[in-house]
C-alpha cells in the first residue's frame, strides 16, 4: 500500500506544479485530490469502473495480456482504453470482447484540452460514442481518429517543424525569418522553431526516430536537429537550441545562416 500512497503523493505534486505554472485552477486541483483513491489490487481498481485507463504498458503483446487481466474484473460495459501511442487494434486482440477497446491520447502538457479518441478496427460505434462523451464529461475536447502510428496532433506539428528545420539547414531562411513567416503569414501564436525549442529538441529527435521506423523517411530527423542535440543544445531546458533562452523567452537566434543577399560586386560587373 505504501507504493500506492507514493503514487498519490506524486499526483498531488504534479497538480501543485500545474497550479504554480498557471496551467490548472486551484479549485480544480482540490476536486481532483478529493477524488483520488489508491489501491494495489487490480480487482479493486477496475470493478464497477465505467472506463479503465491503462497508462503503464505500451508494448502490444504485454498490453494484450494486461487487457485480458483487466477483463477478468471489469464489467462487460466498461471501456478499456490505453492512453499511450500504442496500436489499439493489436492490443484489443487480448480481449474476449474487443468491441470495448478504444484509445484515449491525452496531450502533453495535460493542460491542453485535446484528447484523441482512437478507433480500432474492433471498436463499436457505441464504444466510440461513450468514449467521446467521457472526454466531454471531463472538460476536454475529443477528436475522433483511426488507429494509426503517432498522434495526429504530433504528426502534423512535427511535419511543420521538420520542414522549418530543413529550410534553415539549407540556408533558405534564418530561424527568426521562418518563425515570423508562420506567425505573420498564418497567424500562428509562435513559430515552429520556437515551439520545438520549448518542447525539447531531444524529445523531438526521439519522437521523429520512432515515427520514421513506423511511417518512413518523411519523418527522418534533419541533420541540424541531430547536431544540436549531440552538442547538448536541446532548447529551452538547456538555455540554447534554435534560440538562446533567458527567463523562458527566446532572446536571439543561436543558429545562423549566410546572409541572404547578393554578393558585393564592382562597377565593372556585367550584372549591373
The rounded distance, in Å, linking the Cα atoms of 236 and 242 is 9
Q: Report yes or no on 91 lying in a domain.
A: yes
pLDDT reported for residue 165 = 97
| Whether residue 185 is found in the same domain as residue 228 | yes
The rounded distance, in Å, linking the Cα atoms of 175 and 195 is 12
| 18: CATH | 3.40.50.720
Q: Report yes or no on 117 lying in a domain.
A: yes
Q: Report yes or no on 193 lying in a domain.
A: yes
- Tell me the pTM: 0.82
| Whether residue 39 is found in the same domain as residue 128 | yes
pLDDT reported for residue 24 = 77
pLDDT reported for residue 269 = 57
| Whether residue 47 is found in the same domain as residue 133 | yes
Domain that holds residue 80: 14-146
Residue 213: partners with Cβ closer than 8 Å, 6 or more residues away:
none
Q: Report yes or no on 268 lying in a domain.
A: no
Q: 58 and 81 in contact (C-beta within 8 Å)? A: no
| Whether residue 161 is found in the same domain as residue 140 | no
pLDDT reported for residue 252 = 97
Q: Report yes or no on 6 lying in a domain.
A: no
pLDDT reported for residue 267 = 55
Q: Report yes or no on 168 lying in a domain.
A: yes
pLDDT reported for residue 263 = 59
| Whether residue 140 is found in the same domain as residue 156 | no
Q: How far is CA 34 from the centre of its chain?
A: 27
Q: Report yes or no on 264 lying in a domain.
A: no
Q: Which residues of the chain have pLDDT under 70?
A: 1-4, 57, 260-272
pLDDT reported for residue 152 = 95
pLDDT reported for residue 20 = 84
Question: Residue 222 gets which letter from DSSP?
Answer: P
| Whether residue 65 is found in the same domain as residue 170 | no
| Whether residue 76 is found in the same domain as residue 54 | yes
Domain end: 146, 167, 183, which one? 146
Domain end: 119, 146, 173, which one? 146
Residue 230: partners with Cβ closer than 8 Å, 6 or more residues away:
none
Residue 121: partners with Cβ closer than 8 Å, 6 or more residues away:
89, 92, 147
Domain end: 112, 146, 180, which one? 146
Q: How many CA atoms are closer than 13 Å to the CA of 216, on its beta-carbon side?
A: 1
| Whether residue 127 is found in the same domain as residue 18 | yes
| Whether residue 139 is found in the same domain as residue 222 | no
The rounded distance, in Å, linking the Cα atoms of 132 and 191 is 31
pLDDT reported for residue 139 = 87
C-alpha cell at 139: 472538460
pLDDT digits (tens, 9 = 90+) for 203-250: 999 999 999 999 999 999 999 999 999 999 999 999 999 999 999 999
| Whether residue 56 is found in the same domain as residue 92 | yes
Q: For Cα atoms 42, 44, 50, give the angle at the middle one, nearest 5 degrees.
A: 95
| 233: CATH | 1.10.1040.10
Amino acid at each position: 500500500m505504501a507504493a500506492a500512497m507514493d503514487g498519490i503523493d506524486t499526483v498531488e505534486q504534479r497538480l501543485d506544479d500545474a497550479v504554480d505554472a498557471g496551467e490548472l485552477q486551484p479549485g480544480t486541483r482540490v476536486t481532483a485530490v478529493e477524488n483520488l483513491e489508491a489501491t494495489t489490487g487490480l480487482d479493486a481498481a477496475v470493478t464497477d469502473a465505467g472506463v479503465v485507463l491503462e497508462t503503464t504498458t505500451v508494448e502490444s503483446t504485454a498490453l494484450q495480456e494486461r487487457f485480458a487481466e483487466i477483463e477478468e474484473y471489469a464489467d462487460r460495459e466498461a471501456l478499456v482504453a490505453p492512453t499511450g501511442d500504442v496500436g489499439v487494434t493489436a492490443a484489443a486482440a487480448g480481449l474476449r470482447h474487443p468491441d470495448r477497446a478504444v484509445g484515449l491520447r491525452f496531450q502533453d502538457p495535460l493542460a491542453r484540452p485535446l484528447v484523441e479518441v482512437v478507433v480500432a478496427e474492433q471498436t463499436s460505434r457505441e464504444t466510440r460514442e461513450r468514449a467521446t462523451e467521457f472526454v466531454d464529461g471531463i472538460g476536454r475536447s475529443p477528436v475522433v481518429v483511426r488507429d494509426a502510428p503517432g498522434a495526429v496532433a504530433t504528426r502534423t506539428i512535427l511535419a511543420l517543424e521538420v520542414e522549418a528545420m530543413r529550410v534553415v539547414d539549407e540556408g533558405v531562411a534564418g530561424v527568426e525569418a521562418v518563425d515570423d513567416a508562420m506567425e505573420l503569414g498564418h497567424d500562428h501564436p509562435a513559430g515552429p522553431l520556437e515551439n520545438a525549442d520549448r518542447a525539447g529538441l531531444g524529445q523531438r529527435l526521439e519522437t521523429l526516430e520512432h515515427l520514421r521506423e513506423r511511417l518512413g523517411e518523411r519523418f527522418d530527423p534533419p541533420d541540424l536537429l541531430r547536431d544540436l542535440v549531440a552538442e547538448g543544445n536541446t532548447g529551452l531546458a538547456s538555455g540554447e537550441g534554435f534560440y538562446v533562452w533567458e527567463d523562458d523567452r527566446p532572446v536571439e537566434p543561436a543558429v545562423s545562416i549566410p546572409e541572404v543577399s547578393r554578393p558585393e560586386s564592382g562597377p565593372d560587373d556585367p550584372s549591373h
